[in-house]
Amino acid sequence: QLQLQESGPGLVKPSETLSLTCTVSGGSIGSNSFYWDWIRQPPGNTLEWIGSIYYSGSTNYSPSLKSRVTISRDTSKNQFSLKLSSVTAADTAVYYCVRRMKVRSSLTAIDYWGQGALVTVSS
Amino acid sequence: DIQMTQSPSSLSASVGHRVTITCRASQNISVYVNWYQQKPGKAPKLLIYAAVSLQSGVPSGFSGGGSGTDFSLTISSLQPEDFATYYCQQTYSIPFTFGPGTKVEIK
């Protein structure tokens, strides 16, 4: 059974960089046809897609966050990571790492989620 | 960005009742819609992908429909464990946007 686990600081100061790591067990992040995404959910709000890294290593980011986001991976540790720079209170959210599967052609859906990590931006 | 809207934003229903939630996209997205269920304090769970396909392990009482801009999620007979918030998501184009959610509460 695939499992994803987010880890990282729960409190980040304004203007600093938020860093989270997702450790994947029960499957390889190098497996064909899977994307590894970051999604966030501000308290009481809907979900927001941040970006993804494909099994090949290619990345895509939300245009609204692209200037501040970097998603990378370490296949030797079966981990992928999120860095979000110059954070403000608006970046306070539960951050989820997820696996997005290819259903067919370019159709994809998120079939596995981490439990989520609350990151608060405050001085 | 493609905007996803949902209606209603919340509803109250009794166990055993049939419930339908609708989702509308701001442009034609074919069948690139997924539905998720989220319970308080938990990660979302995939129910329906590609608008109409039931995810493995999801009860058959859930069904999806629609294509183009209008989509629906139907629960044929509401069970106590179905009380949750439901989100639609489009994966037609980046950024993959979610609807605002529909909260299903016990009447």
Candidate from A108, A113, A115 with C-beta closest to B91: A108
CA atoms of A66 and B86, how far apart (whole Å): 28
Structure tokens, B28: 């034609």
Per-residue pLDDT reduced to its tens digit, B24-63: 999 999 999 999 999 999 999 999 999 999 999 999 999 9
Phi, psi of A24 (to 5 degrees): -105, 130
Per-residue pLDDT reduced to its tens digit, A12-71: 999 999 999 999 999 999 988 899 999 999 999 999 999 999 988 999 999 999 999 999
B29–chain A nearest CA distance, Å:
11
Identify the band that residue B106 occupies on the pLDDT scale cut at 50, 70 and 90: confident
* Contact present, A50 and A38 (Cβ < 8 Å): yes
Identify the band that residue A105 occupies on the pLDDT scale cut at 50, 70 and 90: confident
A104 touches chain B (CB under 8 A): yes
Structure tokens, A10: 């729960």
Per-residue pLDDT reduced to its tens digit, A7-19: 999 999 999 999 9
Candidate from A63, A64, A103 with C-beta closest to B50: A103
